[in-house]
Amino acid sequence: MTTQKCKYRDCKEKAVSLSEFCWRHIENKDAYRDNLLEYIKKNNSIKEFYLRRVEIPHFDFVDVDCQNVDLSSCNLAGTNFSGADMRHCNLAHANLKSAYLDNADLSEAHLSGCDLSGARLWHADLKDANLAEANLSGADLLNANLSLVKFWNASIKGAKLLTKHNFALSKKFFNRYAIDEKGPISAAEGYRSLKQYFMSVGRYDDASWASFKEKQMQRRKLLREGNIAYIPSLFMALMCGYGEKPYRVILFSIAVIFLYAIVYFITAAIDVPLKTVGFWDYLYFSIVTFTTLGFGDITPKLIPFFQMLAGTEAFLGAFMMGLFVFTLARKYSAR
């Protein structure tokens, strides 16, 4: 809907929809609310309306088409938006305290600085929404879709039913969970807030996910800066997922065992009395060396290089076993 400049003298604001004045200069605000309510009942749509700063608390917008509506800085406390189509809606700095947003489509909506404290967002779709600096304290987020949201400095203290599954990108095969990661600094801060929240409510597996993603964003920042610290950070990610992924330690250990076995095989590094040595002997030697068992039935040749090679594998094995215990305890305990 086309908006015009407010007709009040020297006012630079736009006139709100269904009026010739901005909200501040509408004299009979109750009459305007009645007119707006009548329009909604008749058309079930306020698509592309301009309603900046309008005060319409406890209004009924159930199943109403609110696409591209500008509701920035509005007082919408207790308003019922259940089932409303609010895609691309501008709700920046709006007051949505205790509002009902069940099954509302808020994908790509602008909610920065919005007060959603105590709001009910059951099954609401907020994919790609901007929640930077939004207040979600006490909000009920049962099955709300928060995938790829901008989450910088959002307040989630006391939020209800928030889990990593709210951030699921897909429900097919291997699930992935993420907020908006275009800015690694803001994304890292968002994941840090989620980590602290999950810790406070005892969701340690979810906290582990958020902690890993936080460090992943920090690594991405190092890459953008060309910082050499990116290399050890990448190595830690691959080796143990920054202490959050025990299975990576197992996979890395298996890779090390096979790599050393291949090196032993290529260089003929071991001695086995009265026996033709095959690859399985080299693999067996690599396993017992990595695990520091050292049965003594197979030994490296008495050449310093081969002895040092076996020593480095034994050191790596002891290190990886300790790392595995640490990551396992970190992931499945109170951290």
Per-residue pLDDT tens listing for the chain (335 residues)? 556 899 998 899 999 999 999 999 999 999 999 999 999 999 999 999 999 999 999 999 999 999 999 999 999 999 999 999 999 999 999 999 999 999 999 999 999 999 999 999 999 999 999 999 999 999 999 999 999 999 999 999 999 999 999 999 876 546 789 999 999 999 999 999 999 999 999 898 899 999 999 999 999 999 999 999 999 999 999 999 998 889 999 999 999 999 999 999 999 998 777 677 889 999 999 999 999 887 777 888 889 999 999 999 999 999 999 999 888 887 776 55
Q: How far apart are CA 146 and CA 179, in angstroms?
A: 7
**How many Cβ atoms are within 10 Å of 93's Cβ, its own excluded?**
18
Structure-block tokens of residue 163: 């889990």
Separation between Cα atoms, residue 165 and residue 33, nearest integer Å: 39
Predicted pLDDT at 334: 54
Rounded to 5 degrees, what are φ and ψ at 264?
-60, -40
- Note the pLDDT of residue 196: 94
Set out the domains of the chain in order of their start, with CATH numbers: 1-180 (2.160.20), 245-332 (1.10.287.70)
Rounded Cα distance, 301 and 315, in Å: 19
Work out the burial of residue 192: count CB atoms within 10 Å of its CB; fewer than 13 is exposed, 13-18 middle, 19 or more buried. Answer: middle
Q: What is the pLDDT of residue 171?
A: 60
Model pLDDT, residue 273: 72
